[in-house]
Amino acid sequence: MTRRTVLTAAALLLTAGAQAQGIQDRTLRIGTTVPADHPISLGAKKFVEIVAAKSGGKLKVKDYPALQLGPELQQQSALVGGVQDMFVPSTASLAGVVREFTLLDLPFLIRTSAQADALMDGPFGQALLAKLPEKGLVGLAIWENGLRHVTNSRHPIQRLEDLQGLKIRVQQSPVFIDVFKALKANPVPMSFGEVYGALESKALDAQENPLLVARSAKLYEVQKYASTTGHAYGVLVVLVSKKLWDKLSADERNLLQAAALEARDYQRQVSREQARKAMDDLRAAGMQINEVSAAERERMRQATQPVTDRVLQSYDPALVRLLRSELERIAYIS
């Protein structure tokens, strides 16, 4: 062994020791809502690996995908009560605790992944995360679910008018309901577990979700058309129970925060890679996919602008000003 090798090994040991200072032997649980091969669960798995590496194996995290720890709202409540350690929920459920997260449901805020990153990682995203501790939650990072698009069984959505009359399942969110009413569709709020059967029986014509969801739920079996409306962008938040957070040392907190941000970058990359592959897979499964033009997306945005204006009037003017300034800042990011 050369002197340089010995010095390098010693440096690595010192680094590992420094990282492990103030870190107790703990095992935490993190839950996700999606299957183990979904980008969100893959992000959780990467988080587990990073925490183990940074703590020298002292701080362990076990991941539980596919709602193994219970339904979404149950896991969220368990975090507030200190019964569960970590969870990665959608902002749709978080909005029931911190209503400002509903602002992320507003239509046509962003066009690209780069714009999404700039908005979520900037002052506006941080302002939303800052509202969580008073509700018993701590937000470490914002991860991606992706742009939402419309699938249906009747015809391609190429123009605003093609949405008219479609019976479409939407999230149980007042904003989503009002948005699709403004687009002249017939929105039906429904839990996702009921969607496949409703589409199969023709009780519904359509649904809206990232294309990854359409692939994983095998909606190509009951939907012929997918159209890239990109009407909303879905995100998730990596949460820690504040009751647990308050018990952790500064080193443990810093480690979990750094790991969540590092895993965020990986999770977004995987999400975007899989989104592109999902489009190819859906085509191979027989779906017809069409791109909605920028001009038609602008028409849709204008049709839903009254919904956006009405929603914004009900929030803290300072937060609304921040959102508007951030949207101006990211407008030309491609």
Question: CATH code at 201?
Answer: 3.40.190.170
Report whether pLDDT(12) > 80.
no
Distance between terminal CA atoms of the chain? 51
Q: How far is CA 80 from the centre of its chain?
A: 20
Task: Confirm whether 2 is domain-assigned.
Answer: no
| Structure confidence at residue 156 as a pLDDT band (50, 70, 90) | very high
Q: Looking at residue 17, what is its pLDDT?
A: 45
**Cα dist from 185 to 53, 81, 150, 165, 313, whole Å:** 50, 40, 11, 5, 24
Task: Confirm whether 10 is domain-assigned.
Answer: no
Domain count, the chain: 1
Helix (H, G, I), strand (E, B) or coil at 33: coil
Convert the pLDDT of each residue in 95-154 to its tens digit: 999 999 999 999 999 999 999 999 999 999 999 999 999 999 999 999 999 999 999 999
Q: Give the C-alpha separation, 187 to 207, whole Å.
A: 9
Report whether pLDDT(161) > 90.
yes
Q: Which residues pair with 142 in a beta bridge?
A: 237
Report whether pLDDT(63) > 60.
yes
Task: Confirm whether 268 is domain-assigned.
Answer: yes
The region of weakest confidence among 49-58, 65-74, 143-152, 291-300 is: 65-74
Q: Which domain holds residue 35?
A: 22-330
What is the residue-averaged pLDDT of the chain?
A: 93
Helix (H, G, I), strand (E, B) or coil at 235: strand
Q: Give the C-alpha separation, 31 to 69, whole Å.
A: 6
The reported pTM is 0.90
Stretch 295-302: mean pLDDT: 98
Task: Confirm whether 150 is domain-assigned.
Answer: yes
Q: Looking at residue 92, what is its pLDDT?
A: 84
Task: Confirm whether 293 is domain-assigned.
Answer: yes
Convert the pLDDT of each residue in 166-214 to its tens digit: 999 998 889 999 999 999 999 999 988 899 999 999 999 999 999 999 9
Convert the pLDDT of each residue in 14-55 to its tens digit: 344 444 569 999 999 999 998 899 999 999 999 999 999 999
Task: Confirm whether 16 is domain-assigned.
Answer: no
Q: Looking at residue 21, what is its pLDDT?
A: 64
Helix (H, G, I), strand (E, B) or coil at 282: helix
Task: Confirm whether 13 is domain-assigned.
Answer: no
Task: Confirm whether 14 is domain-assigned.
Answer: no
Give the β-pairing of 167-170 and 206-209.
Answer: parallel
Report whether pLDDT(13) > 60.
no
Report whether pLDDT(87) > 50.
yes
Stretch 298-325: mean pLDDT: 98
- The answer to whether residues 229 and 294 touch, using CB atoms and an 8 Å cutoff, is no
- Length of the chain in residues, anyone? 334
